[in-house]
Amino acid sequence: MISEPEKISANSIADAWRESTQLLIDHGDRFNLIVHVTDPTHIPDEKQLARFDPKRLGVVKKGLFDVANTIFPKPKNGSTFSPNDFFSHYKKTYKRGKSRTPTAWGTYFQRLSEFGPSGPSQIEKIIECMNTWQSKPRAAFVMHLSGAHLDNPRSLGAPCWQYGQFIRTDTNTLSLSVVYRSHDYFEKALGNFLGLSRLLSFVCKHTHQIPGSLTCLSTYAHLGGKKTQATELLRVSK
């Protein structure tokens, strides 16, 4: 299996996903796939984006928007929630969802808003620091999505997103870099990119920054054994 890093660069999350998926179809699963999206927060309307939803093929339970919501919910248009009110509201919603599947590990949103039992809200701390620090460091705002106090090593299953970092790629431009342990480009990747773009937009909105790029390192990029279905999804999405 190929381990030499490969970089895909595209303007939108949809184009980045399509090019990455085509690469995996043509050359097989691989290690160290780097996907760089130059304008991740420019999202087409949901009807257009739904063309890329693997749920259309009837082979997955969770669709594109379900996956995106595990990372970050879509803020309502015209929402005036402060970060604290936003997280207080949605933490209750996500906690109700977890109560229906008590053995599940949770969602990335829950770990962003509460890292472990009674842990800190990582995003609120980042927003607070960015708004109060006098300096503008290039790389200081780290998010952890996995920890030894919460997770045991596992061969399969979530959490696959391990780490994220907001970086200032210009004085007032904020970009996001993330690392995935294992990344399913048929079922999960586009939904992940959408959720990450929402997260970047939210932090930029509340820190008065300009959204920059999204860079994702998938240490193991694969199609979940669904090469035929991925080929069909690309065909019907054109």
Domains within the chain, CATH numbers bracketed: 6-236 (3.30.572.10)
Q: At a CB cut-off of 8 Å and minimum separation 6, what does 53 contact? A: 63, 64, 65
Predicted local confidence at residue 78, as pLDDT: 60
pLDDT by position in tens, the chain (length 238): 999 999 999 999 999 999 999 999 999 999 999 999 999 999 878 888 999 999 999 999 899 999 999 999 988 766 777 888 888 888 887 876 554 555 456 799 999 998 766 677 999 999 999 999 988 898 899 999 986 666 566 666 668 999 999 999 998 999 999 999 999 999 999 999 999 999 999 999 999 999 999 999 999 999 999 999 999 999 987 7
Letter string b/e over residues 199-221, b meaning 16 or more CB atoms within 10 A of that residue's CB: bbbbbbebbebebbbbbbbbebb
Predicted local confidence at residue 76, as pLDDT: 76
Read off the amino acid at residue 222.
H
Q: Are strands 139-144 and 161-170 parallel, antiparallel or unpaired?
A: antiparallel
Q: What is the DSSP letter of 8?
A: E
Predicted local confidence at residue 152, as pLDDT: 60
User: Can you give the pTM of this predicted structure?
Assistant: 0.92
Residue 179: count other Cβ atoms within 10 Å of its Cβ. Answer: 17
